[in-house]
Amino acid sequence: MQNIQNRFVAIILARGGSKGIKLKNLIKINGKPLIYWTIKHCLNSKKISSVWVSSDNDKILNYSQKAGAQLIKRPKVFSKDTASSESAWLHAIKYLEEKKIYIQNIVGLQPTSPIRKKNDLDNAIKLFVKYKYDSLFTVQKIHAYFTWSKVKTKVVADYSYKFRKRRQETPAKFLENGSFYIFRKDKFLKHKNRLFGKLGIYEMSKIHSFEIDDFDDIKIISSLKRYF
């Protein structure tokens, strides 16, 4: 029988390699390593029972342990640029179950999104439970209407620019921002994908959807200290 205390377990994926920034997860953001912020958000949650960091890098693992997370040493095969997040989560689940840690739901987080509101994780989990979702993902509401495509050397409008609408009149869309995902473990093992079944979204603002991919992002996010 599953332990009620393990209903929601956080698994943070933080590999050492990165195409853009070497050891990006340890780069200082607002005076702390990038991964610190995601670990802190999980530890402050009232609904997450335990927090695990999956990494192939000893420096990241050592820091994560000092910050209060438990560790999963990820094999190199699941840490390559071509390896999916799903493969790392599957490895983490297998590792936990071998340690007799049985869980119902995964909260999968990426440290590259360091800005979240205090109660984002708990509020998203409440939605997940209330509406009996199978998987949930975070989004930013956008009005992406005035877009163009390029066909060889020619640019083509994806909208009627002769009858330009006001931005407020354009249909809202939701951009997956990658901050975190919540999904049922059993169905994840079946689908091998983070999104499946009855899907839910948790909306975040533009600032709280900010993601770090390169050095320009670091400069920008460093100016947003008051939002941490």
Lowest mean pLDDT among 2-11, 32-41, 69-78, 91-100: 2-11
Considering the domain boundaries, does residue 166 fall inside one? no
pTM to 2 decimal places: 0.88
Considering the domain boundaries, does residue 142 fall inside one? no
Considering the domain boundaries, does residue 171 fall inside one? no
Considering the domain boundaries, does residue 19 fall inside one? yes
CA distances from 64 to 61, 78, 215, 225 (A): 5, 19, 22, 22
In angstroms, the CA 148 to CA 159 distance is: 8
* pLDDT > 50? residue 2: no
- Exposure string (b/e) for 68-107, b if CB count within 10 Å is 16 or more? ebebbebeeebbeeebebebbbebbbebbeeeebebebbb
In angstroms, the CA 152 to CA 155 distance is: 8
In angstroms, the CA 61 to CA 43 distance is: 16
Considering the domain boundaries, does residue 120 fall inside one? yes
Q: What is the span of the domain harbouring residue 94?
A: 4-137+176-227
Lowest mean pLDDT among 26-35, 65-74, 211-220: 211-220
> Which residues contact residue 216 at a Cβ distance below 8 angstroms, ignoring those fewer than 6 apart?
none
Q: What mean pLDDT value characterizes the chain? A: 90
In angstroms, the CA 120 to CA 6 distance is: 19
Decide if 167 is catalytic: no
* pLDDT > 80? residue 140: yes
* pLDDT > 80? residue 127: yes
> Which residues contact residue 84 at a Cβ distance below 8 angstroms, ignoring those fewer than 6 apart?
none
Q: Name the percent of the chain lying above pLDDT 70.
A: 96
The pLDDT score that the predictor gives to residue 1 is 37
Q: Which residue out of 74, 116, 164, 166 is catalytically annotated?
A: 164
What domain count does the chain have?
1
173-220 pLDDT tens trace: 899 999 999 999 999 999 999 999 999 999 999 999 988 888 888 888
Considering the domain boundaries, does residue 206 fall inside one? yes
Amino acid at residue number 173:
K
Considering the domain boundaries, does residue 143 fall inside one? no
Confidence of residue 82 (pLDDT cuts 50, 70, 90): confident
For position 84, which CATH number holds? 3.90.550.10
Considering the domain boundaries, does residue 40 fall inside one? yes
Tokens in use for 4?
């009620």
Amino acid at residue number 155:
V
Q: How many Cβ atoms are within 10 Å of 157's Cβ, its own excluded?
A: 12
